[in-house]
Structure 1
Amino acid sequence: MLALPITTERLLLRVPQATDLDPLREFYEDPAALEHVGTQTAWDRESMGRRLQGWADDHQQHGYGMATIELRGNRDVIGLLGLSPGEDGIPELSCMLIRAYWRSGYCREAAAAYLARAQHDPRFSAIRVRMESHNPARAHMERHVFFPHGFACTAEEPFPPSGRLMRYYSWTAPPTR
């Protein structure tokens, strides 16, 4: 089990709760933020509520899932980061931040802490990230999150459901000593 909470110098990662819905409004109602997570559809309060419940359920069913990111100092909810069960059994890492918190190193810090915990769990011998090739955040995420944490770009190909060009990144847990 990938136990939460996880704390870092500035952040607390915890299981999502229904009370995260209002604080995350600045994310799910922001078209620019949603463009950076690669969605073409607007999220609304109802769909975000279902997502939060699903992510909390993932923790119960799988022992891991997306985590709500809070600032430790004031407990402000700033986004989400974590693993979702992949269709082929390989978990997928995602990060979604409210735009006001972009470029502050929070995604990098949260990913480092989450991956440090995951590398000790035998279920996570591999982790994938999938991102649209034209995503405006791609270069930043590669430079500051993916590559520094050991992800390698493994493919660039059309995503079957949409035909959109996607980049795939893979992470493999370091060998145990």
Structure 2
Amino acid sequence: MLTPRRMTTERLLLRLPFASDLDPLRDLYDDAPALDNVGTEAAWGRERTRRRLETWRGEYERWGYSMYTVVERLDGEVVGLCGLCPDEGGVPELACLLIRRYWRRGYCREATAAVLSRAQASPGPLTLSARMEADQPSLPYLEQAVVYAHGFVFESEVPDPYSGKRMRYYRWSSPPAKPTAGPRAGPEAGWGA
């Protein structure tokens, strides 16, 4: 799968992360309540976020997909992160994390729609995963507006092996390839009388 290095929507620019995104993302990585419902530690911190930004750029070169920095097109403000990264099993996993002051604007739905439309248009069979904390306050909205709206199906709800938080897991698979037309099968091909 190969997603583009940059994507635009009506209001957003999604681009590969730069080291210079570190300071604008501070309101995300230092915001324990914002990160509390993503199944990870309560805060990432500056150094861990710096390493993640580097890792995501490398993942694009390796896998053809990555997490993107999400930027408002109107004023260039960094609003968060959205994209795909390999889950523990190597399956591309959808994730979207926004700085709290940008919540409730439909940016998560808009950014994930851009990422998923490009990923799902990839040739060949494709499987994507997603997960959310079961106690996520906006779970009903995210399931309906993002996860189920894009064809993901619920798989299971189990404790995260690292944090112990109950996580809901979802999966999307591309439809099987349609058979190509081959030689006509009939009596002349040894079928039937």
TM-score scaled to structure 1, two decimals?
Answer: 0.92
Give the deviation of 1:122 after TM superposition. 3.7
Amino acid at match of 2:57: A
Asked if structure 1 preserves the Cα contact closer than 8 Å seen for 2:30 and 2:45, the reply is yes
Work out whether 1:57 is the aligned partner of 2:53. no
SS at match of 1:145: helix
Separation in structure 1 between the aligned mates of residue 162 and residue 34 of structure 2, nearest angstrom: 22
Q: Percent identity?
A: 50
CA distance in 1, matches of 2:162, 2:27: 28
Contact residue 7 and residue 13 of structure 2 kept, 8 A: yes
Secondary structure of the 1:36 match is: coil
After alignment, is 84-93 or 105-114 more displaced? 84-93
- CA–CA distance in structure 1, aligned partners of residues 110 and 173 of structure 2: 19
Confirm or deny: 8 A CA contact 1:27 1:79 kept in the other structure.
Answer: yes
Distance 1:110 1:11 in 2: 7
Alpha-carbon contact 1:21-1:45 (below 8 Å) kept: yes
Q: Which runs of 5+ in 1 are unaligned?
A: none
* Closer/same/farther in 2, CA of residues 127 and 112 from structure 1, 3 Å limit: same
Single out whichever of 115-124 and 96-105 deviates more from structure 2.
Answer: 115-124
Unpaired segments ≥5 residues, structure 2: 179-193
Q: Which has the larger radius of gyration?
A: 2
Task: Give the alignment's TM-score, normalised by structure 2.
Answer: 0.85
**Distance across 2 between alignment mates of 1:74 and 1:157:** 41
Structure 1 consecutive aligned stretches of length 4 or more whose deviation exceeds 6 Å: none
The question of 1:119 aligning with 2:120 is answered: yes
The two structures, once aligned, show a CA RMSD in angstroms of 1.7
- Equivalent pair of 2:155/2:171 in contact (CA under 8 Å): yes
Aligned length: 177
Asked if residue 165 in structure 1 is aligned to residue 132 in structure 2, the reply is: no
